[in-house]
């Protein structure tokens, strides 16, 4: 991860917390897709596509939200979704965030 990536991640986390997230995680994704077309044993096409992006997942008032962008050149990280409406039923608790008894 580069220093710029670290800045994007920290700013995204700070934004999520400032907007009321009780939990948030940020992912920086590098994706490389290669394609090969072979016809009668001869290579007809070879392609390579690279993309890079950032995704933010947040839990606000019991509801999950997600925002993502592939535009890392933007001045700010992706804006989180608006706060969920109070009429929405809360999401079930995240098992990973639940306290454990120490037993498997």
- The answer to whether residue 104 sits within a structural domain is no
pTM: 0.57
Q: What is the mean pLDDT of the chain?
A: 78
Task: Encode pLDDT of 19-33 as tens digits.
Answer: 999 999 999 999 999
Burial 3-16 (b: 16+ CB within 10 A, else e): eeeeebbeebbebb
- The answer to whether residue 93 sits within a structural domain is no
Find the domain containing 8 and state its range.
3-83
- The answer to whether residue 7 sits within a structural domain is yes
pLDDT at 101: 46
- pLDDT above 60 (res 82): no
Task: Encode pLDDT of 6-21 as tens digits.
Answer: 888 898 899 899 999 9
Task: Encode pLDDT of 35-51 as tens digits.
Answer: 999 999 999 999 999 99
- The answer to whether residue 19 sits within a structural domain is yes
- The answer to whether residue 54 sits within a structural domain is yes
Total number of domains in the chain:
1
- The answer to whether residue 51 sits within a structural domain is yes
């Amino acid at each position: 991860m580069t220093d710029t990536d670290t800045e994007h991640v920290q700013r995204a986390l700070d934004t999520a917390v400032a907007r009321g997230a009780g939990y948030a995680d940020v992912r920086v994704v590098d994706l490389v897709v290669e394609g090969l077309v072979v016809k009668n044993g001869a290579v007809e096409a070879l392609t390579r596509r690279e993309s890079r992006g950032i995704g933010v997942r947040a839990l606000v008032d019991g509801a999950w939200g997600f925002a993502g962008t592939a535009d890392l050149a933007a001045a700010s990280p992706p804006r989180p979704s608006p706060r969920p409406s109070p009429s929405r039923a809360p999401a079930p608790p995240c098992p990973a965030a639940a306290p454990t008894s120490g037993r498997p």
